[in-house]
Structure 1
Amino acid sequence: MPTQRSRIPIIAVAVLVVASLGYIWFAHRSSSPAAASAIAGAGSITLTDTQAKQVAVTAVGTHTFDTWLDAVGNIDYDQDHLAQVSAPYAGRIASVAAKAGDKVQKGQLLFTIDSPDLLQAESTLLAADGVLTLSRKTLTRTQKMLAIQASAEKDVEQATSDEQTAEANYRAARKTVMLFGKNEADIDRLLATRKVDGALRVLSPFDGIVVARTVAVGDLAQPGNSPSPFTVADLSTVWMDAYMPENDAAALKLHQPMAITLPALPGKTLHGEVSYIGKAVDPNTHTVTVRADVPNPSGELLPQMLANAAVQTATPEHSPAVPEDGVVREGDGTTMVYVTQDGRRFEQRVVKIGKRQHGLDQILSGLQTGEHVAGEGALFLDNMLSQQPDDD
């Protein structure tokens, strides 16, 4: 059995052998390509000057993230300023004073109708005016005769009653003529000339554009006929109707901002807010109508133009943000970034990601504004780190 003294040289030789093997292994590792990226602890890596050129370093900034829901739709008439101008009474079209595309003002003549009903109303007014004039003369004469006791009190009372009845009939006849669109000046002219014409004037209800005309001189006009003789629209404001999927309907609220783009107006974004949310789902498309009132002072927005809408459904959040190229997603769902202070040594760090907008990822936790991370080239760092030999 070896003695205590004899074991010492054996142990010394063993230590020397292990040390020699360790030196040989270290020298071999240092001479391999991986030695250019020395390990600086678990989850970190240091690059050479050449490797550093492949990684873009960017500062963590603050970005405003918001939530937008997209939908497709179209421009439509503002139905509150669209009028189907019909003939209030039957008759033949006597004249047409406007055509499609014309700008018209409130009260401007659109067309006239030879109306038997108006002719009758005017005749009734003239008759009522004549009876009223006669009744007033009779009352005045009877009152004078009573003063000289040439008539009885009952005669004055009867004349007064007749005058009051004639006055009521006259006022009713005058109101009837006004229902045909005649104004006070027209009626006074009729009473002065004692000449009926039966021409019913149909006027524009507001300032706008004639978007459709379906009649010509000689056509028979009937109340309620479809299509109407004229359609007048005020296009200074139009509706943008978007059709939002029913799954997004719960997030919609009145007055939410809406951004609108149109293929017909490339590069231009219009802004409005939600003014109406449909109360029923279209059973064919399973969408809900969302509407915005859009100013159209130049008239470039035409009804039935295709449009795209985005509705902002959440309050904007101001959060740290990094380029989406700087976020590496691992197979287990973990998201990583590579943090650096000098652009050479990078440390892997787990972060929590929120929204992605405009090429940026929202950072909910794991990074602070002002830190520096790898942007383009982060995946290169991740591949290098995964290929490095273990330390054991």
Structure 2
Amino acid sequence: MKASLIFLLLTFALSAQAEEGITLSPEQQAAVGIETRAITPAPAQYRYLVPGEVLVDQYRSYLASPRLPSVVLSRHTALGDHVVKGAVLVTLFSAELAEAQGDYLSARPEWQRVKGLGKAAVGEQRFVDTKSRFDASLAKLRGYGLDEGDIAVTPLGQYPLRSAIDGVVLSDSFQQGQAVAPGEALVQVADEASLWVQAQLPGTSTLDIPKGTKALVSTGDTAWPASVSQAGHTLDPVTRTRTVRLSLPNPQHALHAGMYVDVAFLFETPAPVMALPQEALIRSSDGDWTVFVEPEPGHFEAREVTLGKVLDDQQQVLDLEPGTKVAVKGAFYIASELAKAGFSAHNH
């Protein structure tokens, strides 16, 4: 294809001026797709791409676990189920709970009787002692996770684990009949309407990514807006990468924990810059970067430039005057014509 394009160019009657560049008619420019525009300073947007992983938003998730040694009697949910706040996830049995319930069932009627008689009839000390025993037995049951309704109707030694939030069951690593220890996670429920994305930056990166920085999280051709919620200041001991956490709204539940994604942090230059498309740049024979300026209509001259920051598919240039007309498309063809005519694309 390159050879055919050069052949096409060779058929044009080009008017070249040695040491001064080359002149192309409007028809010739149109045939090879040359486009020019005046370059002026303007704010430039650019992205910084890194890999990432979707995680559960731990501020919006709940781990259901027993608070005392127990045995699993039955499960009431399965992986992937949507549950509401207060839904029973697991029913367990605990001998320690049965003892605590026995203390409560003993203390409650005694307290109700003493309360009915009144402090004057039973004496202050007995009144206080009876109330203290009842309050302590009730507090112990509440500490084990039983609410008022559970305390009233739960069979001796049995108790439910309930979900504290609306969400989806993401894990349920237990079996019926299994003995479980206090604090052992049985069911994880998460609200997937909001997720975390953990982005991994090279450990050597000095890029400042403050809280609130906007980003796009993508898989395939689909992207979702996100924003930085936390930036780590230490390196992962295994991957030696710097972690940045993003908050990602996920109202349609299109993303799920464990998915790998691409993260594009979105930035804007702090001040207007002169920037050109990458295809406007040509490297000369001695390695310098050049562009083709158009000082007069149809007349192109090579000019050395100094490069600044890479801005996605744009490149900052540092030494062009504002308003300079530059060939932003077709620079390769202009360079080819200059080379064929015996000129250098490097203008000394």
Q: In which range does the TM-score fall when normalised by the shorter chain?
A: 0.7 to 0.9
Number of the residue aligned with 1:336: 291
Query: In the TM superposition, what is the alpha-carbon distance from 1:102 to its structure 2 partner?
Result: 0.7
More strand by share: 2
Secondary structure of the residue that 2:80 maps to in structure 1? coil
1:43 — aligned with what? 20
Q: In the alignment, what sits opposite 1:148?
A: none
- 2:174 aligned counterpart, secondary structure: coil
1:161 counterpart = 2:125: yes
RMSD: 3.2
Structure 2 residue ranges without an equivalent (≥5):
1-10
CA distance in 2, matches of 1:374, 1:38: 20
Name the counterpart of 2:56.
77
Contact kept in structure 1, 2:16 and 2:341, CA below 8 Å = no
**Partner Cα distance (1:106, 1:261) in 2:** 31
| Superposition map of 1:319-358 within 5 A | 319-330=273-284, 331-343=286-298, 345-357=299-311
Q: Is the 8 A contact 1:138 1:159 kept in 2?
A: no
Which letter maps to 1:91?
Answer: S
Alignment of 1:272 with 2:226, yes or no, is: yes
Q: Equivalent residue of 1:247, what SS?
A: coil
CA-to-partner distance for each residue in 1:336-358, whole Å, 9 max, x for gaps? 32315332x33333444434546
AA aligned to 1:46 is T
Aligned ranges for residues 119-138 of structure 1 at < 5 Å? 119-136=98-115
TM-score when normalising by structure 2:
0.80
List gaps (5 residues or longer) in structure 1: 1-32, 144-155
Q: Distance in 1 between matches of 2:147 and 2:238?
A: 50
Matching residue of 2:156 = 197
Kindly report which structure 2 residues correspond to 1:1-392, keeping only aligned pairs within 5 A, or say none. 37-39=15-17, 42-47=19-24, 53-54=31-32, 56-61=34-39, 64-136=43-115, 159-187=123-151, 189=152, 197-225=156-184, 228-262=185-219, 266-312=220-266, 315=269, 318-330=272-284, 331-343=286-298, 345-357=299-311, 359-369=313-323, 371=325, 373=327, 375-376=329-330, 377-384=333-340, 386-387=342-343
Higher helix share: 1
| Sequence identity percentage | 23
Residues 57-110 of structure 1 deviation map (CA, whole Å, 9 limit, x = unaligned) = 422355653343321121111122333311222232222211111111111111
Structure-2 change in CA distance of 1:387 and 1:128 (3 Å): closer
Q: Distance in 2 between matches of 1:300 and 1:46?
A: 55
CA distance in 2, matches of 1:384, 1:119: 96
Report the alpha carbon displacement of residue 211 of structure 1 after superposing the two structures with TM: 1.2
**Aligned pair in 2 of structure 1 residues 136, 85: CA closer, same or farther (>3 Å)?**
closer
Q: Which residue of 2 aligns with 1:26?
A: none
Partner of 2:7: none
Letter in 2 for 1:383: A
Does the C-alpha gap of structure 1 residues 370 and 59 become closer, same or farther in structure 2, counting only changes over 3 Å? same
Letter in 2 for 1:164: V
Count of aligned positions? 328
| Partner Cα distance (2:147, 2:239) in 1 | 50
Other structure's SS at 1:254 match: coil
